[in-house]
A and B are shown apart, each in its own frame.
Chain A
Amino acid sequence: MADVVESTVELEEDTQKDRYLTFSLGKESYGIEIKYVIEIIGIQSITEIPELPEYVRGIINLRGKIIPVIDVRVRFKKEPREYNDRTCVIVVDILNISIGLIVDSVSEVLTIPEQDIVDPPQMNTGNNNHYIKNIGKVGNEVKLLLDCEELLSEKDMENFSEEL
Chain B
Amino acid sequence: MSEQHIHEPLMDMFIFETTQLLEQLEQAILNSESISTYTETSINEIFRIMHTIKGSSAMMMLNDISLLAHAIEDLFYYLRDIKPNNIDTSTISDLVLDGVDFIKVEVKKLENGNTVDGASSSIISNINEYLSMIKQSNITEPMNKVFEAVIFFQEGCEMENIRAYTIIRNLNGFAKKISCIPKDIMDNDESVEIIRKDGLKLYFESDYTYAKLNEFFMQTIFLKDMELNQLENDVVYMQQMEDSEATEFEDIISERDKNNNLLNVKKDKDKNKDKDKDKDKDEEKDKTNGSTAQSIISVNVAKLDQLMDLVGEMVIAEAMVIQNPDLVGLELDNFRKAARQLNKITTEMQNTVMSIRMVPLSTTFNKMNRIVRDMCKKLEKEVRLKIIGEDTEVDKNIIEHISDPLMHLVRNSIDHGIESSEERGENGKTKVGTVTLTARNSGSDVLIIVSDDGGGLDRDKILSKASQQNLLIKREEDMSDREVYNLIILPGFSTNDNVTEFSGRGVGMDVVARNIEAVGGTVYVDSMPGKGTEITLKIPLTLAIIDGMNIKVGNSRYTIPIISIKESFRPSKKDIISDPDGNEMILVRGQCYKILRIHEVYKVKTQITELYNGIIIMIEHGDKTICIFADELIGQQQVVVKALPEYIQTFKTIRGLAGCTLLGDGSISLILDVAGMINM
Interface of A toward B, CB cutoff 8 Å: 1-2, 5, 45, 47-53, 56, 59-61, 64, 66-68, 97-99, 152, 154, 157, 160-161, 164
Contacts and interface: CB of A to CB of B under 8 A. Distances in A.
Contacts of B601: 50
B652 A59 contact: no
Given A64-B313, A67-B645, A52 B667 contact: no
Interface in B624-673: 642, 644-648, 650-652, 654-655, 657, 660, 662, 666-670
Given A59-B644, A66-B660, A1 B668 contact: no
B660 A51 contact: no
Going nearest first, the 4 A-B pairs with the smallest beta carbon separation are A50-B602, A47-B668, A68-B645, A68-B647
Given A5-B2, A61-B667, A52 B648 contact: yes
Given A47-B667, A48-B604, A49-B654, 6 more contacts: A47-B556, A52-B648, A59-B660, A59-B668, A61-B666, A99-B647
In this complex, which of A2, A48, A67, A98 has the most chain B Cβ atoms within 10 angstroms of its Cβ? A48
A64 B662 contact: yes
B644 A49 contact: yes
Contact of B670 (A49, A97, A161): A49
B604 A66 contact: no
A60 B668 contact: yes
B651 A157 contact: yes
Interface residues of B, number: 30
A21 to B, nearest CB: 20
Contact of B650 (A1, A157, A164): A157
A33 B657 CA distance: 35
B316 interface: yes
Interface of B: 1-2, 313, 316, 555-557, 601-604, 642, 644-648, 650-652, 654-655, 657, 660, 662, 666-670
Given A2-B2, A5-B2, A52-B654, A61 B662 contact: yes
Nearest to B605: A48
Q: Which of A51, A60, A97, A154 has the most CB of B within 10 A?
A: A51
Contacts of A61: 662, 666-668
Nearest to B666: A61
Contacts of B651: 52-53, 56, 157, 160-161
A68 B669 CA distance: 14
Nearest to A98: B645
A152 B660 CA distance: 22
Contact of B667 (A45, A51, A67): A45
A68 B2 CA distance: 35
Contacts of B666: 61
Contacts of A154: 650
B650 A51 contact: no
A29 to B, nearest CB: 26
A145 B273 CA distance: 83
Contacts of A64: 313, 316, 662
Nearest to B601: A50
B670 A47 contact: yes
A59 B2 contact: no
Contacts of B2: 1-2, 5
B1 A47 contact: no
A66 B602 contact: no
Contacts of A45: 667
Contacts of A47: 556-557, 660, 667-670
Contacts of A59: 644-645, 648, 660, 668
A5 B4 CA distance: 13
B400 to A, nearest CB: 23
Contacts of A49: 644, 648, 654, 657, 670
A47 B558 CA distance: 10
A64 B557 CA distance: 17
Nearest to B669: A47
Contacts of B647: 68, 97, 99, 152
24 contacts: A1-B2, A5-B1, A48-B555, A48-B604, A49-B654, A49-B670, A50-B602, A50-B654, A51-B652, A51-B654, A52-B654, A56-B651, A59-B660, A61-B667, A64-B313, A66-B644, A66-B662, A66-B668, A97-B646, A98-B645, A152-B647, A157-B650, A161-B651, A161-B652
A111 to B, nearest CB: 30
A59 B647 CA distance: 10
B655 A51 contact: yes
Contacts of A97: 645-647
A1 B4 CA distance: 13
A50 B667 CA distance: 17
Among B316, B646, B647, B669, chain A packs the most CB atoms within 10 A around the CB of B647
**In the complex, which of the residues B556, B645, B650 has the most CB atoms of chain A within 10 Å of its own CB atom?**
B645
Contacts of A2: 1-2
Nearest to B659: A66
> Which of B556, B602, B651, B654 gathers most chain A CB within 10 Å?
B651
A101 to B, nearest CB: 12
Nearest to B603: A50
Contacts of A160: 651
Contacts of B660: 47, 59, 66
Contacts of B648: 49, 52, 56, 59, 68
